[in-house]
Amino acid sequence: MHVLITGAAGMIGRKLTDRLVIDRALGDHIIEKLTLIDIVQPTRPAGFSDHVKTRAADLAAPGVAAKALEERPDVIFHLAGVVSGEAETDLEKGYHVNLDGTRALLEAIRAVGDGYKPKAIFTSSIAVFGAPFPHAIPDEFHLTPLTSYGTQKAMSELMLSDYTRRGILDGVGIRLPTICVRPGKPNKAASGFFSSIIREPLAGQEAVLPVADTVRHTHASPRSAVGFLLHAAELTREQLGPRINLSMPGVCCTVAEQIDSLTRIAGSKVAARIRREPDALVVRIVSGWPERFEAKRAAALGFTAEATFDDIVRVHIDDELGGKIAN
């Protein structure tokens, strides 16, 4: 099996690559080749095989997507994208990467022809939904995004559905909750503070909280995000049916409950490293996001996430900190 990952240098892309290298298989199929693409050069995984290609390129640029498909990958994980805050402040860049890049990939698949029909897993977002919201977003809730990022993801979902309906590819779109706790340095995602108020205090650093403690949101760990992707790749068309875009499960909690989890696990001294500093742009963007999801279809199809936010904090400590917390 040949697997292509776009956005492979990103956090989820790196973790997905690591998992595939460890497993050496996807379902019942042995992975023989990996192709990794991102706007920056992805790291070549150690100890896999010589059958790995890495490339720094803009997926939306002419010819890039076609070149990525030269060896006809069997499974494509399309993770490449500009994050929410950057897509909102830079309209042209957001549409170029999030929409034009997706369309370039789908069109390149179509152009191969000759019976080529790969499995394509696309990472969408809960930002495709917009207020007013019910208590919990059902699987049938309409797409009314209130940000450019959400709009770009919604448009990509529709394209994925149409190309799947036409038999060009076998698509699955997974709407990720906010992935928390993200390792590494903060990015330009409006949701980044959900991770930073846990990550930085655990590392002995101060974190800034730009929204009220009452803000409620749904989260899943990076470990769960990789699990979502792998599970999506194993779903059959018969299992999924015509509605190929799914909201993923997660832990719904307030910022205050996040901080409570941090306090329980790491102590009040660590939680005291959070400084409250309102940011009007972040407040506006987050106010347009849904809070909780029923995710009944995803659960019925076997997708799973953490049960509590305490679990999410512990995943970060185990996976990123070697089980240790800074005093």
Which phi and psi angles does 209 have, rounded to 5°? -105, 110
Amino acid at 295: A
Annotate 57-68 with b (16+ C-beta within 10 A) or e (fewer). Answer: bbbbeeebbeeb
Distance separating alpha carbons of residues 109 and 57, to the nearest angstrom: 17
Distance separating alpha carbons of residues 131 and 291, to the nearest angstrom: 10
Cβ-based burial of 204 (10 A; exposed 0-12, middle 13-18, buried ≥19): exposed
Look at strands 216-220 and 251-254 and give their pairing.
Answer: antiparallel
Distance separating alpha carbons of residues 274 and 317, to the nearest angstrom: 18
Catalytic residue among 95, 116, 149, 163: 149
Amino acid at 228: F
3-state secondary structure 25-85: EECCEECCEEEEEECCCCCCCCCCCCCEEEEECCCCCCCHHHHHCCCCCCEEEECCCCCHH
Distance separating alpha carbons of residues 288 and 265, to the nearest angstrom: 31
Beta bridge partners of 52: 34
Cβ-based burial of 226 (10 A; exposed 0-12, middle 13-18, buried ≥19): buried
Distance separating alpha carbons of residues 245 and 252, to the nearest angstrom: 20
Cis peptide bond prior to 138, omega within 30° of 0: no
In the residue annotation, 163 being an active-site residue is answered as no
User: Which positions are annotated as active-site residues?
Assistant: 149
